[in-house]
Structure 1
Amino acid sequence: MKKIAIIDYGAGNLRSVHKSFLKVSNNKHEIIVTSNYHHVLNADYVVLPGVGAFGDCMNGVLALNGMADTIKEVVLNQKKPFMGICVGMQLLAEKGFEYGEHKGFGFFKGNITKIDGKGLKIPHMGWNELNLNFEHEVFSSVESGKSHVYFVHSYHLTDFDEKEVIATTDYGNQKIVAAVLKDNIIGLQFHPEKSQEVGLNIIKNFINWG
């Protein structure tokens, strides 16, 4: 039975995320919520959720003994499938500029900056359609331009590498990065655990990936 580790650093929608993974796993995976880096090292799949400010979340990860180095190990060396959700996705970028400047993991090119709110309600909250830039098995159930997912965020990825952006969404006249993908790493700006069937299918495809 393959193991899925959902990292608990005190800043994530953990109950909903855990419940969603349990639902799609159908008892075929061992799923744990953990703040212990040993559990993450021994997992086959790793999930980094996140709700809150970039700096607070990064500090939460750094405060866990051995966790930041373990995340780098499982992503860069062990090449395990890794998913970042919402702020968990943002932490995978190079820098965040929410309440100051904060260093991210740098797995994806780009910075996390505030959404230009001219004429728009901030935070960006609600259902938006996904537009796919390329195909991937984790997104095989997504219908580009038709599938809708749930967003709640005030900051987004900018200065990115186009080749790493698998999905975008339109918010007003702005194109927002909805998902990034590189090698074994997936980052979702939206909340798959709140995105009903579309989100559950993305989670299901993720835990069957690799």
Structure 2
Amino acid sequence: MVNLIWLLMLLSGIIVAGYNGRIEVVTEASLEAAQTAVNLAFELIGLMAMWLGLLKIAEEAGLVGLLARLLRPFTRYLFPEIPRDHPAIGSIIMNLSANILGLGNAATPFGLKAMQELQTLNNRPEEATPAMCTFLGLNTGCLTLIPATIIGIRAAANSTDPTIIVGPTILATGFSMIVAVIADRFLRKLYNGFRGDGR
């Protein structure tokens, strides 16, 4: 659907430019946008390398482990069906930790690993378990304390104050995480009521 929307926007822009006799504007805008994208990507590579390096240092120093221990009661409440020492818990905690630190790209591999581990506990492989749905909701609406990627994009775009979004980001993502948890609890009860299997 998103591809169709982009295609319609692109075609409508070309048609309008052709109708107005300004088709060269499309070519100029395309080349300029491509150059901007490449420049932005290179600037983000440096930023992501720095934050991933800091995350690795934090992991080696035990800070990520500390964050994981702080999150453990939270994960036990949200994922009661996952055994305490199952590898899925570790991957979930690492994913949430990376998301909290604003490292969405670093969180992705942990998220994929968590889903793989959760699938090993799935008695019905053709459908998602409640734990998978809970994790997806948390991953999507996770609290972000340091929006590193967005700060990097704003810095690359020469923003006068790239970090001004930290407060609103904490507020918005905190609210989205609360909504995700409440919706998960409600839908779980509804699901268990329909299924009657307590799964």
Q: TM-score, normalised by structure 1?
A: 0.30
Q: TM-score, normalised by structure 2?
A: 0.31
The structure whose Rg is larger is 2
Query: Which structure is higher in helix share?
Result: 2
Query: Which structure is higher in strand share?
Result: 1
